[in-house]
């Protein structure tokens, strides 16, 4: 079980996510760093042995009428401290996908370009993004709120969450995030276990990473048992409920099991 820390990025600062209610997000207070600077927090994750970091660029995700350019300077600063980037910048079309795919800083780029259901128009758009980014780098995010699809298009809304995942796999997706934003930061556990298990049975070779609600290593084990390859975690790291020692024990258990 790989732990992938989350940086929710807003106005150049790391903020604490609360159930997807972005108007309530405030700069994070973390045991890992003295402030909310992305590079400082990214470096703390690297030092804990978690170099792969998922960045939700909330200003770029925005809405169709209110969104910003990707936070390129923040991406550069994170790359400078050794972070391997996964970035969700609210992909909507091939032009934006090409920008992210071509972005490079000192010989390093974005390893995981996230295409989130929240901003994707339809399955055909996903297929075109796969052509631009490539299946090895594109990460499809199956975005949910309270178990329901978080989508802005009827092309997706007519399907169940599992059917939506199946459409993505049929389009050529090999890496998938399953994220219920209603569970983020509310200390209520992970609600996606059943869906992740169903996706694993549907697509045995699919890389599945789930997030939203991870409180402790117990939740990480539940996700592993459901068939997940990784977990997105934020609050439990900032609050010290999952520590560097916990991560080392998990790695040791994996090697000896």
Closest among 112, 59, 130 to 90, alpha carbons compared: 59
Asked if 76 and 105 count as a contact pair (C-beta separation under 8 A), the reply is yes
Domain 2-256 annotated CATH 3.20.20.70: yes
Which backbone phi and psi does 214 adopt, to 5 degrees?
Answer: -70, 120
Instruction: For residue range 90-135, list pLDDT tens digits in order.
Output: 999 999 999 999 999 999 999 999 999 999 999 999 999 999 999 9
Torsion angle of alpha carbons 175, 58, 226, 256, nearest 10°?
Answer: 80
- Residues with Cβ within 8 Å of 191's Cβ and at least 6 positions away in sequence, in order, are 147, 180, 182, 183, 212, 213
The DSSP result for 75-126, as a single string, is HHHHHHTTPEEEEE----SHHHHHHHHH-EETTEE-SEEEEETTT---HHHH
* Contact criterion met (CB below 8 Å) for 232 and 53: no
- pTM of the predicted structure, to 2 decimals: 0.94
Mean pLDDT of 167-184: 95
Helix axes 72-80, 38-47, angle to 10 degrees: 30
Q: How far apart are the first and last CA of the chain?
A: 12
pLDDT band at 17 (very low <50, low <70, confident <90, very high): confident
Query: At residue 59, does pLDDT exceed 80?
Result: yes
Mean pLDDT (the chain, rounded): 93
In percent, the amount of the chain with pLDDT more than 70 equals: 96
The 3-state DSSP class for residue 179 equals: strand
Angle at 17 between CA 16 and CA 18, to 5 degrees: 120
What's the pLDDT at 152?
A: 80
Q: Which residue has the higher pLDDT, 213 or 84?
A: 84
Tell me the per-residue pLDDT of 208-254, one tens digit each, with 9 for 90 and over. 999 889 999 999 999 999 999 999 999 999 999 999 999 988 877 76
Dihedral pair phi/psi, residue 154, rounded to 5°: -65, -20
In this prediction, residue 23 carries a pLDDT of 77
Residues 85, 103: Cα–Cα separation, whole Å: 11
Q: Look at residue 20 in the predicted model and tell me its pLDDT.
A: 66
What average pLDDT score do residues 15-29 get?
Answer: 81
Residue among 50, 179, 148, 152 at smallest CA distance from 92:
152
pLDDT at 249: 87
Dist CA 101 CA 96 (whole Å): 9
> pLDDT higher for 257 or 212?
212
State phi, psi for 14 to the nearest 5 degrees: -80, 130
The tokens of 151 are what? 């989508």
Q: Above 90 in pLDDT, residue 67?
A: no
Domain-wise residue ranges, the chain: 2-256
For residue 251, what pLDDT is reported?
Answer: 79
> Which of 105 and 1 is assigned the larger pLDDT?
105
């Amino acid at each position: 079980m790989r732990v992938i820390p989350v940086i929710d990025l807003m106005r150049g600062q790391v903020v604490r996510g609360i159930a997807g209610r972005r108007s309530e997000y405030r700069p994070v207070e973390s045991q890992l760093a003295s402030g909310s600077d992305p590079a400082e927090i990214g470096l703390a994750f690297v030092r804990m042995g978690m170099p792969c970091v998922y960045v939700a660029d909330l200003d770029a995700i925005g809405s169709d009428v209110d969104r910003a350019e990707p936070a390129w300077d923040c991406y550069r600063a994170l790359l400078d401290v050794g972070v391997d980037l996964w970035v969700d910048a609210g992909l909507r079309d091939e032009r934006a996908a090409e920008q992210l795919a071509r972005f490079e800083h000192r010989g390093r780029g974005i390893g995981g370009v996230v295409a989130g259901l929240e901003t994707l128009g339809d399955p055909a758009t996903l297929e075109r993004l796969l052509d631009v980014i490539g299946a090895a780098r594109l990460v499809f995010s199956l975005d949910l709120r309270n178990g329901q699809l978080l989508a802005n298009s009827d092309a997706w809304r007519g399907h169940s969450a599992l059917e939506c995942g199946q459409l993505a796999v049929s389009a050529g997706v090999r890496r998938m995030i399953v994220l219920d934003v209603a569970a983020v930061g509310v200390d209520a556990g992970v609600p996606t276990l059943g869906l992740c298990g169903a996706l694993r049975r549907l697509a045995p070779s699919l890389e599945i990473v789930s997030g939203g609600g991870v409180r402790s290593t117990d939740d990480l084990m539940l996700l592993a048992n459901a068939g997940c390859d990784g977990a997105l975690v934020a609050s439990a790291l900032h609050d010290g409920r999952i520590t560097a020692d916990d991560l080392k024990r998990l790695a040791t258990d994996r090697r000896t099991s």
